[in-house]
């Protein structure tokens, strides 16, 4: 039976980042993100072996399902299928969206990272359900140079697709991103690296809302 496709909700888009979490595991961080009220979480982990990733993804998928949180897997389409994730997020160097769609089906979410207007327009034509826009500011989570707030403004003016602003966004600059019209915002190290993740999310939500 075909299910209705979920939509990426407004607010904070959570992404795992264990190396920024001061010794806390991805599982611990996800539990805190969920308790803080985040409604979409992406598993992103570049430095672990596949077995470790699968074990974590299975556990995080369970947590998200129990708490009505949308769960996205970064890069690994096969693992996303394995755990029946709600969707997958792919980068510019990853599989074409049309190929991802054939694998995961019409009812799953596909996100695409974009770094310029050309990327964004192609993602729309290819059938992405949302795009990542960034990195807005300099960030340690990605090797890409920042695209700046200018690209964010271009997307708002020209692209009719949900988008997530990402890259170097902190409590100190999130208002600049919000003011330009972003209503889905991702912060990685600012959240998982916070002394108290739940309190940090509450502070950020005050600014966003």
Catalytic amino acids? 44, 113, 142
Six token digits for residue 144: 């890409």
**What secondary structure letter does DSSP report for 18?**
G
- Give alpha helix (H) positions in 67-164: 77-82, 97-104, 117-126, 148-158
The conformational region for residue 132 under phi > 0 = left, psi -120 to 50 = alpha, else beta, is: beta
184 sits in which H/E element: strand 184-187
Beta bridge partners of 163: 131
Phi, then psi, of 150 in degrees rounded to 5: -60, -40
Q: Are 39 and 63 in contact (CB under 8 A)?
A: no
Cα 198 from Cα 209, distance rounded (Å): 16
Q: How far apart are CA 61 and CA 41, in angstroms?
A: 10
Sign of the Cα torsion 67, 68, 74, 77 reads positive
């Amino acid at each position: 039976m075909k299910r209705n496709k979920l939509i990426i909700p407004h607010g904070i888009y959570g992404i795992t980042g264990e190396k920024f979490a001061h010794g806390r595991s991805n599982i611990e961080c996800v539990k805190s993100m969920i308790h803080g009220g985040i409604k979409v979480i992406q598993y992103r982990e570049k430095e672990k072996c596949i077995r470790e990733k699968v074990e974590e993804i299975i556990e995080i998928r369970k947590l998200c399902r129990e708490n009505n949180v949308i769960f996205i897997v970064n890069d690994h389409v096969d693992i996303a299928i394995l755990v029946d994730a709600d969707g997958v997020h792919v980068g510019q160097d990853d599989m074409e969206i049309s190929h991802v769609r054939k694998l995961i089906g019409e009812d799953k979410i596909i996100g695409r990272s974009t770094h310029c207007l050309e990327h964004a327009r192609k993602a729309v034509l290819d059938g992405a359900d949302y795009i990542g826009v960034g990195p807005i500011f300099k960030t340690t989570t990605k090797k890409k140079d920042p695209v700046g707030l200018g690209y964010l403004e271009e997307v708002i003016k020209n692209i009719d697709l949900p988008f997530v602003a990402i890259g170097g966004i902190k409590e100190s600059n999130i208002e600049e991103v919000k003011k330009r019209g972003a209503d889905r915002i991702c912060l990685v190290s600012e959240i998982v690296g916070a002394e108290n993740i739940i309190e940090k999310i509450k502070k950020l939500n005050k600014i966003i809302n």
